[in-house]
């Protein structure tokens, strides 16, 4: 799928109508991603049609799991080059988006893209998820928590759930091992106040493997001890 076909696939697969202005923003995003990628490691995907499919369309597939409304507070954990948060913010300008990224150079790219696209209501949090989850300003303050390609589900649950308010949702974008990861994370989810609501398969054009959206409801407050200090969720998963 070429970049100019993003609008058609978004409409056919996701029922999203991308305006000419939105399409132009995605074109700028792709150009800047490739330009910065020559200086810092942002993505291994450099073909325009793959950027459109594996980054932009994959990010937008989150709409199959959640409806974004005005004033909704969204955080993208370990966002890297901005996926899935920035593509969603481009399409839904009324959301309040926080991009959580610990790597300074990647955070600089995110700040550049936010300015380049003139995006309001976007906050860059240059910190680890463990730090943000224990920050009173961020803890249990978001309606929707997103993460893509960050960690295995038992660890990822400890990164995401402390940031999500009770009654909110976490959406993890996962690959073919989604079902096995969910099973492995059952204990972690119980401890952290989460419950898997559903797992939604996503078929992307010209991508052989099925992607999945793991939808987790935040049903109870996360105990104060979590998240543990930096590195612990990965080294010693619940």
In this structure, what token pair is assigned to residue 104?
């300074």
Q: Which of 88-92, 148-152, 211-215 has the lowest mean pLDDT?
A: 148-152
Whole-number Å distance between alpha carbons of 160 and 2? 33
Share of the chain above pLDDT 90, in %: 89
Residue 166 contacts residue 140 (beta carbons within 8 Å): yes
Whether 13 is in a domain gets the answer no
pLDDT confidence of residue 14: 95
pLDDT of residue 159 exceeding 70: yes
Q: Which of 124, 170, 123, 118 is nearest to 143 (CA)?
A: 170
pLDDT confidence of residue 1: 52
Whether 58 is in a domain gets the answer no
48/235: higher pLDDT: 235
Whether 15 is in a domain gets the answer no
Beta strands in the chain (DSSP E): 73-77, 96-100, 122-125, 142-148, 164-174, 194-202, 211-218
Whether 21 is in a domain gets the answer no
Beta strands in 78-205 (DSSP E): 96-100, 122-125, 142-148, 164-174, 194-202
> Burial, 70: exposed, middle or buried (Cβ in 10 Å; 0-12, 13-18, 19+)?
exposed
Whether 148 is in a domain gets the answer yes
Whether 226 is in a domain gets the answer yes
pLDDT confidence of residue 207: 87
Number of domains in the chain: 1
Helix axes 20-37, 6-14, angle to 10 degrees: 120
- Provide mean pLDDT across the span 56-82: 96
pTM of the full structure: 0.95
Question: Tokens 């992607």 identify what position?
Answer: 211
In this structure, what token pair is assigned to residue 22?
């939105």
pLDDT of residue 3 exceeding 90: no
Whether 7 is in a domain gets the answer no
pLDDT confidence of residue 138: 97
- Residue 54: half-sphere exposure toward Cβ, Cα within 13 Å: 16
Query: pLDDT, tens digit, for every residue of 129-142?
Result: 999 999 999 999 99
Whether 51 is in a domain gets the answer no
> Given pLDDT bands bounded at 50, 70 and 90, which one contains residue 4?
confident
Beta strands in 101-181 (DSSP E): 122-125, 142-148, 164-174
**H or E, element range at 209:** none
> Given pLDDT bands bounded at 50, 70 and 90, which one contains residue 2?
low
Q: Which of 134, 72, 118, 62 is nearest to 98 (CA)?
A: 72
Torsion angles phi and psi, residue 164, rounded to 5: -90, 135
pLDDT confidence of residue 60: 97
Kindly report the CATH number assigned to the domain that includes residue 131.
3.40.50.150
pLDDT confidence of residue 133: 97
- Residue 50: half-sphere exposure toward Cβ, Cα within 13 Å: 9
- Enclosing domain of residue 141: 68-235
């Amino acid at each position: 799928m070429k970049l100019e076909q993003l609008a058609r696939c978004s409409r056919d697969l996701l029922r999203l109508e991308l305006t000419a202005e939105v399409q132009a923003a995605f074109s700028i995003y792709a150009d800047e991603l490739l330009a910065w990628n020559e200086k810092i490691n942002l993505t291994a995907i450099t073909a325009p049609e793959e950027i459109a499919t594996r980054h932009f369309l994959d990010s937008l597939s989150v709409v199959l799991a959640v409806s974004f409304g005005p004033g909704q507070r969204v955080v993208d954990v370990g966002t890297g080059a901005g996926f899935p948060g920035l593509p969603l913010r481009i399409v839904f300008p009324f959301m309040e988006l926080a991009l959580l990224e610990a790597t300074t150079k990647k955070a600089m790219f995110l700040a550049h893209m936010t300015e380049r696209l003139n995006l309001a209501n976007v906050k860059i949090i240059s910190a680890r998820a463990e730090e943000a989850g224990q920050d009173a300003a961020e803890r249990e303050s978001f309606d929707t928590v997103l993460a893509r390609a960050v960690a295995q589900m038992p660890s990822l649950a400890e990164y995401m759930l402390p940031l999500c308010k009770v009654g909110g949702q976490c959406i993890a974008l996962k690959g073919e091992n989604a079902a096995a990861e969910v099973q492995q994370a059952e204990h972690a989810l119980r401890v952290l106040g989460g419950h898997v609501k559903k797992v939604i398969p996503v078929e992307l054009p010209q991508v052989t493997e099925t992607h999945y959206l793991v939808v987790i409801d935040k049903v109870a407050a996360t105990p104060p001890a979590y998240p543990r200090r930096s590195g612990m969720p990965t080294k010693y998963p619940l």
